[in-house]
Structure 1
């Protein structure tokens, strides 16, 4: 029997994604983002969250999905990746679920337009709901993390 995971569910377009709760610091409403020159196109800039400067990444841009307008539902999910905090822009984040690790299967090559290397797997919930589990360390690869760390200085 697999272990129980608590997972925050968020949406990009019509797809639902999950990040383990223990990797999420907090979820915030959209706030002003300070642009930073000479960064990857999916790095939208930085925010100042309670005195901490945090790089902001548009997950739609990261995955090569079309960008969309920010709405009242748009959220910033603050995650910890390799001792560093990063904010992901997502379309909405409104659910925490319990998931058995046994229900997570190896992802196919592409899920919802997202390459498998960014994914830990796909979890089947109930009869017709799929949850795409993110592989945070791959969403931010090492060279990108080095570049983002320089934004924090």
Structure 2
């Protein structure tokens, strides 16, 4: 039985980790594909009073109240428009289901360990505590985000409060 375990371990190492690639403005970001429940078009949400601007509100997704966070606002993008390309990535995180609004989703990429570089010590748009690294694929550079850590920050406690 240990022979099978070694083979599957070796296969996992060569395949690498899969990331859903999405865009915010000119930048491409990657999040762990295993956290993604579904991708859907942006629908109207019910706004909740006294929440930060990046928390757009909540929506009812098949009986589950899902908070919707606009990452473009959270990452301080200047021009945030809603059009037919705007999508919501519904994430299934450990403690909650959350939707994040992004400019678009491009593809799923598999990166192996040697294609992932450590996160730089500084970044303009995002606190480095939320970065897992930079994915390098030819000329493409992906900003890899620890979406669980990003969406469990103190301000996200507001989401839990409003959803309950």
Unaligned runs of 5+ in 2: 1-9
Q: Pairwise CA RMSD of aligned residues?
A: 1.8
> Could you say which residue in structure 2 is the equivalent of 1:15?
27
Unaligned runs of 5+ in 1: none
The structure with the largest strand share of the pair is 1
- CA deviation string 1:64-119 (max 9, x = no partner): 22241112111000112332011100000121111113311111134463232221
Q: 1:139 aligns with which of 150, 153, 158?
A: 150
- TM-score (normalised: structure 1): 0.90
Runs of 4+ more than 3 Å apart: 109-112
The structure with the largest helix share of the pair is 2
* Distance (Å, rounded) in 1 between the aligned partners of 2:130 and 2:88: 19
8 A contact 1:76–1:89 mirrored in 2: yes
Choose 1 or 2 for highest CA Rg.
2
Tell which deviates more after alignment, 19-28 or 99-108: 99-108
- TM-score (normalised: structure 2): 0.84
